[in-house]
Amino acid sequence: MTDEALGRVALVTGGSRGIGRAIAEALGKRGVKVAINWVTNELAAQKTLEEVRAGGGDGATYQADVASEREVGKMVTAVESDLGPIDMLVTSAGIMEAGGYQQLDLETFQQVMRVNVEGTFLPVMAVKDGMIARGRGSIVCISSIAGLRSRPRVIAYSTSKAAVIGFVRSCAGAFGPNVRVNGIAPGLIRTDMTESMDPDVLAGMEQEAFVKRLGVPSDISAAVLFLLSDGAGFISGQTFVVDGGRVTLP
């Protein structure tokens, strides 16, 4: 992504922390006006916006529950009023259940599906008509390698991410030819969420990866920038695995 991005508008859901923050900051450095979505942590969203501006970009923050049709609609209207038509969408908001399958109940399963699946569906549906009408748009949905591999301890999360992968394929066929829809399936990425993990478990995951390290948020943002760019103009309906090679293991 080079000068083609100058002045374009991107909405990043879950943009206040982790992978979403890295994506927002990377877009800002390329002259994109970034709409940073948050739901509970306004200070984190403001920190992301500060980093975007420090990198030479601009944007604004928007509070919305991405699993609420009303709130998503209001957010998209506000973004387009403040910054202009949305050219790019990255859906990065998501949650994961705690505990193994013995602790998984219907309420928890539904909550994970609500945030991860409906929270992807609603922003995509809110921006797609404008993109189709303008004859230009690129959407990237963050899923996970958990949607491709067996994950017995996070059944709800794994199911939700598999749904996102299928959603990407179907939307790409529906919205083309001028609107592209792709996905990213990250492996384990070092964020604040991994700080509490057992160091031995992390070390084992590093050894599983062909590149012998865990991912960092910039690994994902680099892949997202490529898929959003005109250089990926012949790519749609795909989910890129960005995991250092771990998903190829049995």
How many residues would you count in the chain? 250
Structure-token match 């509070």, residue found: 63
Q: Where are the alpha helices (DSSP H) in the chain?
A: 18-29, 42-54, 69-82, 106-113, 119-134, 155-175, 199-208, 217-228
Both tokens assigned to 236 = 């749609």
CA 165 – CA 48 distance, rounded (Å)? 27
CA 188 – CA 73 distance, rounded (Å)? 32
Contacts of 194 (CB under 8 A, 6+ apart): 188, 202, 214
Q: Is 157 a catalytic site residue?
A: yes
In sequence order, what DSSP letters do the residues of 173-215 get, joined into one string?
A: HHHTTTEEEEEEEE--B-SGGGTTS-HHHHHHHHHHSTTSS-B
Burial pattern 189-226, b for ≥16 Cβ within 10 A else e, equals: bbbeeeeeeeeeeeeebeebbeeeebbebebbbebbbb
CA 128 – CA 134 distance, rounded (Å)? 10
Both tokens assigned to 44 = 């984190």
38, 157, 175, 240: the catalytic one is 157
Residues annotated as part of the active site: 157
